[in-house]
Amino acid sequence: VGFLFEDAIKAVADEFPDTKFGIVDGYVPDKPNVISLRFREQDGSFLVGVIAALKAKADGADTVGFVGGMDIPLIHKFEAGYKAGIEYAWPECQILSDYAGSAPSAFADPVKGKELALAQIDKGAHVIYHASGLTGVGVYEAAKERGVYVIGVDSNQNHLGHVKETGENYGLTSMLKQVDVAVYLSIKDIVNGTFQPGVREYGLGDKVEIQGNTYRGIYFAMDEYNDDLVTQEMLDKVAEAEQKIISGEIVVPEK
């Protein structure tokens, strides 16, 4: 899992040509036994951008923020989609953006994350979306201290915004990158004999039904921590945007 394993996957794919391999977030397009599982992070980020903008507007604020981990094209997709969603929902909203660094350690620096978040809060950020790995822990710390909201990334991180002492919740939502859906569908293809090497990109239109629940390649999180934070008006606007993205009416930028 991760782009840092691209060279390793290439090597073992050559060494074991009869074995199927998959790499998440990597790009190995030219091996006959490797599938690269990639995601349309920009589409999910667009949806949470809609929520961020409408939450700020509803609360009388006019600024939101983005904190990225490593300054690389993969994370630029999160930022670009987020900004596009904000502009779609509320063009007048101001957007702040910062990165923790240019090395892999930028994904594991909560002290830097808190520093960047506090600086954005001082500039008026009411909602901050982080795409920064463990660095985001610091973003949550800053938000809970200052009473603003955070949007988590990859998995459901809504619980990280919960304050036990007061019962308050500052986890507005999380952009879900459903790696499990991609892996499940890839394994299913292998079992069914339909494995296709190359690059497979997962987005809003990729769905799996399991025990009556629908799981998408990309989506956003709703649970007991943010039920009272995300209004029906916000959800309606997100649903509108989702359908336009799936239909191709909206093409979300990657950078």
Cα–Cα distance, 174 to 235 (Å, whole number): 14
Domain topology for 41-177+217-247 = Rossmann fold (3.40.50)
Q: Among residues 196, 150, 155, which one has the least CA distance to residue 31?
A: 196
The DSSP secondary structure of 69-112, one letter per residue, reads EE-SHHHHHHHHHHHHHHHHH-TT-EEEEEEEESSGGGGS-HHH
* 21 pLDDT more than 90: yes
pLDDT of res. 95: 98
| Residue 213: predicted pLDDT | 82
Q: 120: pLDDT confidence band, cut at 50, 70 and 90?
A: very high
Amino acid at 120: Q
Segment 76-87 mean pLDDT: 98
Q: What pLDDT sits at residue 147?
A: 97
Q: Is the pLDDT of residue 1 over 90?
A: no
Q: Answer yes or no: is pLDDT of 83 > 90.
A: yes
- Copy the structure tokens of residue 45: 């980020």
Query: How does residue 162 score in pLDDT terms, banded at 50, 70 and 90?
Result: very high
* Dist. CA 149–CA 121, nearest whole Å: 10
Residue 171: Cβ-neighbour burial (10 angstroms; 0-12, 13-18, 19+): buried
Residue (of 211, 243, 95, 230) closest to 170 by Cα position: 230
Q: What is residue 4's predicted lDDT score, i.e. its pLDDT? A: 81
* pLDDT for residue 10 is more than 90: yes
- Nearest CA to 73 among 210, 254, 217? 254
Q: pLDDT per residue over 164-215, tens digit each?
A: 999 999 999 999 999 988 898 899 999 999 999 999 999 998 888 878 888 8
Query: 3-39+179-214 has which CATH code?
Result: 3.40.50.2300
Residue-range domain boundaries for the chain: 3-39+179-214, 41-177+217-247
Q: In the prediction, which pLDDT does 220 show? A: 97
Please give the model's pTM, rounded to 2 decimal places. Answer: 0.91
Task: Decide if 3-39+179-214 and 41-177+217-247 have a common fold.
Answer: yes
